[in-house]
């Protein structure tokens, strides 16, 4: 039975290091530069975990400037087998209300400034080109654990969802928000892409806890998304995200993940030409 180590990437307002016991900080470097902040290494109920603030602990790194490659690489280098991440988002569907939790299973990429692969042909990068399969971007088994935990806590869970990742840092225009709904988007954020792709290239079990704070900009009858609207829901979402992490991580660690991890690693290797 392979030991698991859980990497936690905390999104906006969702990166509290106090969830870890016996914690210490570790500053690291990678071939792709420095990650967003120091790694906080500790445990949740005896399970080894590594926490990283996606935007930095001061939340001073805008989405387009996040070094996603360094973040994911640093966590893999630290021995993580799983990445369980939190992400604030806007809702694109009436039935997904602020305060609910979505466990995404698909994404639509609307970014245009981000490097999405480790295999970029640059000096020091791994050789070849990775044509990584993305039909199932997220780890289904890890998703199932998240869904079960959210339900066990009595929180409203949407078991599937397509997350639209836009470039940011601005919010959507009303026309854009309506277009994303037509395209099949359920929630919208600024960070799932390329994070999920890079995790797949690294052979990691990756799943996300998406926490809607608002209805984006598509509703004619309601105030459109603004920072003030978002902040009003932040505290509740942060508390719920923390509850899910504290519940799900010990449950993940109780199971044998050998075959699942081997499958993700094989998928990553088989994608390289």
With both helix axes pointing from N to C terminus, report the angle between 258-270 and 192-201 in degrees, rounded to the nearest 10.
100
Preceding omega of 169 cis (within 30 degrees of 0)? yes
3-state secondary structure of 142: helix
Return all residues near 25 (Cβ < 8 A) that are at least 6 apart: 38, 39, 40, 41
Return all residues near 100 (Cβ < 8 A) that are at least 6 apart: 91, 155, 156, 157, 158, 212
Query: What tokens does 22 get?
Result: 């016996």
Contact (CB, 8 A) for 195 and 68: yes
214 is catalytic: yes
Nearest to 63 by CA among 75, 52, 54: 54
- Give the active site residue among 214, 228, 247, 256: 214
Q: Which residues are annotated as a binding site for phosphate?
A: 12, 54-55, 87-88, 191
Contact (CB, 8 A) for 121 and 175: no
- Give the active site residue among 105, 109, 186, 216: 216
109 is catalytic: no
Q: Which residues are annotated as a binding site for substrate?
A: 190, 214-216
Q: Which residues are annotated as a binding site?
A: 12, 54-55, 87-88, 190-191, 214-216
| Helix or strand run (H / E) with residue 25 | strand 21-26
Residues noted as catalytic = 214, 216
């Amino acid at each position: 039975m392979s030991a698991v180590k859980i990497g936690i990437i905390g999104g906006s307002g969702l990166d509290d290091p106090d969830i870890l016991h016996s914690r210490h900080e570790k500053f690291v470097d990678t071939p792709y530069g420095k990650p967003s902040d120091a790694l906080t290494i500790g445990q949740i109920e005896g399970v080894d975990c590594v926490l990283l603030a996606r935007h930095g602990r001061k939340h001073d790194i805008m989405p387009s400037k996040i070094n996603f490659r360094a973040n994911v690489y640093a966590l893999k280098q630290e021995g993580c087998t799983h990445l369980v991440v939190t992400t604030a988002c806007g809702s694109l569907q009436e039935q997904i209300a602020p305060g609910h939790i979505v466990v995404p299973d698909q994404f639509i990429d609307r970014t245009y400034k981000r490097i999405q692969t480790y295999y970029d042909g640059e000096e020091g990068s791994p050789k070849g080109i990775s044509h990584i399969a993305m039909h199932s971007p997220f780890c289904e088994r890890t998703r199932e654990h998240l869904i079960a935990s959210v339900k066990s806590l009595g929180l409203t869970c949407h078991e599937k969802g397509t997350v639209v990742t836009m470039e940011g840092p601005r919010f959507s225009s009303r026309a854009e928000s309506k277009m994303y709904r037509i395209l099949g988007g359920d929630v919208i954020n600024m960070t799932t892409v390329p994070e999920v792709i890079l995790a797949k290239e690294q052979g990691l079990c990756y799943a996300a806890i998406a926490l809607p704070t608002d209805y984006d900009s598509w509703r004619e009858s309601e105030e459109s998304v603004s920072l003030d609207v978002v902040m009003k829901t932040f505290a509740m979402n942060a508390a719920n995200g923390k509850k899910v992490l504290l519940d799900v991580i010990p449950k993940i660690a109780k199971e044998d993940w050998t075959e699942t991890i081997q499958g993700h690693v094989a998928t990553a290797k088989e994608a390289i030409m």
